[in-house]
Structure 1
């Protein structure tokens, strides 16, 4: 069911103000006072691109993991701005998908990976996983650390687990595909890249990998 015009108009006005003034706090204040998560999720289906952009950005800041599937569908939106906003919104939601304490510990893992301290990242992620075994991003961050240490089998296993708990995790799909290429498991890499392409049909790099690997498969 479409939302009434005044519901769409308010969030579009708030979004336009944000675009002009870059005051994210003001935008979120307006949205959080007037919109529930459910209403924002329904606005993702609006036929107006600005409404979809506003709803995606709001959910990226305010949404819970419950809107993961809805935001993932926005990765195939015809509007490139919606797709880009959805990409960032999903990462934000994935990093706050557990308790505040576990989310803070995950941030430390991410920081270790960013600083090249991959062994420490693995230890911290492993400890976090013991306490939060369904936290998909903890597995993905450990997969990143393993990848950076050329431990591709271990990275693949963690990517698989990340996808068990978050089937929309395009980062885990792409990382897993790169690991499989390095392990010369090219048919499996093609499969995971195809899966990622269904989620992100406008992603040029993914389409190129699918084309290359399909051509290889046809030549064998």
Structure 2
């Protein structure tokens, strides 16, 4: 008696080819021919490990604004490989979640903040956040400017604005916790760090911060 034929989904076949060739444009073209972002989001939630990895990769290439949330949920997937791919795709979509013009403005702001030029980045970051108010990453970069300029109150406001637009932005939760610690709001900082880790359990420096903060709280209560 012969075994029944097991059909491999097109997505898995394309993903295996990607792993062998590293040809991302070809992978995107193959997947785009047969799968919508909504279908990929469903497979990211319900598929086996290989399909979840393949879907996370494909959403980073083909996804849209609605793909950010399913990728955010996948940041705590049981499989580390899925988490890593989802994280790359999630961060890429966050940056591109705006018009090309606003995306280019963001990259200029990021170039300045990465170089520690927070004063020079502040005005263009404020303009960008005003022009693209739903662009979560614009508010995050504005918060980075305020934090770099030692204004934790305005930084916390901007991080909160970012989180209103993308609740899975674990970097904003972690940075908000730093602002809350500077303000002496330790219980709030603990909640923010825990939220960061609930979203992205691989954020080890947040785990270290949380342990240190809890030790500080215990010593203060003693």
Structure 1 and Structure 2 fold alike (TM over 0.5): yes
**TM-score (ref. length: structure 1):** 0.89
Report the alpha carbon displacement of residue 17 of structure 1 after superposing the two structures with TM.
Answer: 1.3
**Aligned partners of 1:177 and 1:190 also within 8 Å:** yes
Query: Rg: which structure is higher?
Result: 2
Q: Distance in 1 between matches of 2:12 and 2:96?
A: 26
Q: Which moved more, 1:161-170 or 1:100-109?
A: 100-109
How far 1:113 sits from its partner (Å)? 1.5
Is contact 2:129–2:142 with CA below 8 Å preserved after alignment? no
Aligned residue number for residue 17 of structure 1: 17
TM-score, normalising length: structure 2? 0.88
Q: Summarize deviations over 1:101-150 as a string: whole Å, max 9, x none.
A: 22222222112222332222211111112212222111101111222232
Counterpart of 1:161 in structure 2 is 161
* Matched ranges for 1:36-185 at <5 A: 36-185=36-185
TM-aligned CA deviation for residue 80 of structure 1: 0.7
- Tell me which moved more, 65-74 or 173-182: 173-182
Structure 2 unaligned blocks of 5 or more? 1-5
Deviations 1:69-106 (A, max 9, x none): 21111111111111111111111111111222222222
How far apart are the structure 2 equivalents of 1:129 and 1:45? 32
**Cα distance between partner residues in 1 of 2:91 and 2:204:** 20
Within 1, Cα distance between the matches of 2:130 and 2:185?
A: 30
Is there any run of 5+ residues in structure 1 with no aligned partner, and where?
none
Q: CA deviation at 1:202?
A: 4.3
Instruction: Tell me, in whole angstroms, the C-alpha distance in 1 between the residues paired with 2:89 and 2:44.
Output: 13
Does the residue aligned with 1:201 lie in a helix, a strand or coil? Answer: coil
The more displaced of 36-45 and 149-158 is 149-158
Aligned-CA RMSD value: 1.9
Q: CA–CA distance in 1 between the matches of 2:157 and 2:47?
A: 40
| Compared CA separation, residues 145 and 51, structure 1 to 2 (3 A) | same
